[in-house]
Structure 1
Amino acid sequence: MKLTVFGATGGIGQEIVKQALAAGHQVTAVVRDPARLTVTGDALDVFRSELRDAESLSDAVAGRDAVLSGLGARSNNDARTGIAAALTRPVLQALDATGTRRFLAVSAGPLAPEPPDQKFLHGRVMVLINAILKPVYDDLKVMEAEIRRSGADWTLVRPPKLLDRPVTGTYRTALNVNLRGGSTIGRADVAHAMLASVDDPATVKQGVSVAY
């Protein structure tokens, strides 16, 4: 496939690029600072952009089979500026202008409903986490709403706490509900789940929770 990856210098984004190249896909990595992209490959094109202008992104998304985004806030301070929504907005506009439809984006587990039988302690822990990271989740809520209103064939991938560990390919997924007891997942496995969802029609216009 021909894939474009936004947020390609982030922890999940670099894994998407690396795994996509290893699987034989052609990848365009959209980055603000090419020096931060450590992945290389013959099938990799690096596209530099500040991600503020939809028209400038047209060449990066036109004719692609799918566009994957790891864009998001790096801190609460970033989130308070609404950075995830702000950076995603021109991407959606570029998709609409070029007719590219498949779009997958990383969001966060706490934005999915909790299962009815989730343990009480886990629920209390999630309330605490949500309070600490409220600016991040508020930003992602706006981003999610704009993605859902778009004309894209979208998928929102919602991981819990992220870990740095090698890809395993062994994790659980659920549509539109959090996974019972699912509190962690590696960034590499989030990338794996996103790539696996690209051509899975069951995930189109759905939220996909992913966790160990």
Structure 2
Amino acid sequence: MKLTVFGATGGIGREIVRQALDAGHEVTAVVRDPARFTVTGPRLEVFRSDLSDPEALRPAVAGRDAILSGLGARLLADAGVATRLTRSVLWAMEAAGTRRLLVVSAAPVGPPPERQSLADKAVVAAVSATLRKIYDDLREMEAELAASGTDWTSVRPPRLTDQPVTGHYRRVVGGTPAKGRTIARADVAHAMLAMADDPATVRQGVGIAY
């Protein structure tokens, strides 16, 4: 497939690029600062952009089979960036006629899992209160996706770790895995690539966790 990856210098985005190249895909990595991007490969194109000009993004998304985005706030002070930057990506995609988009959201944005324990409810409530602005940003981003004409998927992981890829995790389309407390960034990337051509995940939120 021909793929474009936004947020390619982040933990998940970088893993998407690496795994996609290893799988033989052609990848365009959109980055703000190419000096921070260390992945290389013969099927890799690095596209420099700060995403402030949606029109300038059209060449990065035109003719692609799927767009995968790891864009999002890394700090509370960055809350709002996921919605703002995803709007630019959506505009460019719709202008270029590219339809498939997968983005990273978060488990608390989705529905609570079935039979959630009181302890887990308390943990989610505490984390949600602390990161409320970030989760509000992700909810607004998902609303933008739902209002768009793209074939979107919102991938909702719980707490992220930096463990190696395993390829083994649970996935719930339209829901959240029960007792799903962690997942590695590498496995989020693995899941997103696996869903890129999966029609069952189109216009759906997908919870993933170990």
Normalising by structure 1, report the TM-score. 0.98
Is structure 2 residue 15 aligned with structure 1 residue 8?
A: no
Is structure 2 residue 181 aligned with structure 1 residue 187?
A: no
Query: Which residue does 1:120 correspond to in 2?
Result: 118
Is structure 2 residue 76 aligned with structure 1 residue 53?
A: no
Q: What is the rounded CA distance, in whole Å, between the counterparts of 1:177 and 1:124 in structure 2? A: 19
**1:149-170 Cα distance to aligned partner (Å, 9 max, x none):** 1100000000000000110000
Pairs aligned (count):
210
Query: Which residue does 1:33 correspond to in 2?
Result: 33
Query: Which residue does 1:108 correspond to in 2?
Result: 106
Tell me, what secondary structure is at the counterpart of 1:72?
A: coil
Q: What is the rounded CA distance, in whole Å, between the counterparts of 1:33 and 1:201 in structure 2? A: 34
Return the letter of the residue paired with 1:53.
D
**1:31-50 Cα distance to aligned partner (Å, 9 max, x none):** 00111112110000000001
Q: Residues 65-144 of structure 1: matches in 2 within 5 Å?
A: 65-79=65-79, 82-144=80-142
Tell me, what secondary structure is at the counterpart of 1:24?
A: coil
Q: What is the rounded CA distance, in whole Å, between the counterparts of 1:148 and 1:28 in structure 2? A: 25
Return the letter of the residue paired with 1:98.
A
2:200 to 196, 202, 208: 202
- CA drift of 1:11 comes to 0.1
Tell me, what secondary structure is at the counterpart of 1:144?
A: helix
Q: What is the rounded CA distance, in whole Å, between the counterparts of 1:115 and 1:103 in structure 2? A: 25
**Which runs of no fewer than 5 residues in structure 2 stay unpaired?**
none
Tell me, what secondary structure is at the counterpart of 2:53?
A: coil
Q: What is the rounded CA distance, in whole Å, between the counterparts of 1:24 and 1:98 in structure 2? A: 24
Normalising by structure 2, report the TM-score. 0.99
1:157 to 146, 155, 158: 155
Return the letter of the residue paired with 2:146.
R
Q: Contact between 2:114 and 2:178, CA under 8 Å: does it hold in 1?
A: no
**1:42-80 Cα distance to aligned partner (Å, 9 max, x none):** 00000000101110000000000000000000100111x
Q: What is the rounded CA distance, in whole Å, between the counterparts of 1:38 and 1:124 in structure 2? A: 40
**1:82-112 Cα distance to aligned partner (Å, 9 max, x none):** 1110111010000000100000000000011
Q: Supply the RMSD in Å over aligned alpha carbons.
A: 0.6
- CA drift of 1:177 comes to 1.5
2:165 to 167, 171, 186: 167
> How many percent identity over aligned positions?
64
Return the letter of the residue paired with 2:62.
A
Please identify runs of 4+ aligned residues in structure 1 that moved more than 3 A. none
- CA drift of 1:116 comes to 3.3
Return the letter of the residue paired with 1:57.
L
**Which runs of no fewer than 5 residues in structure 1 stay unpaired?**
none
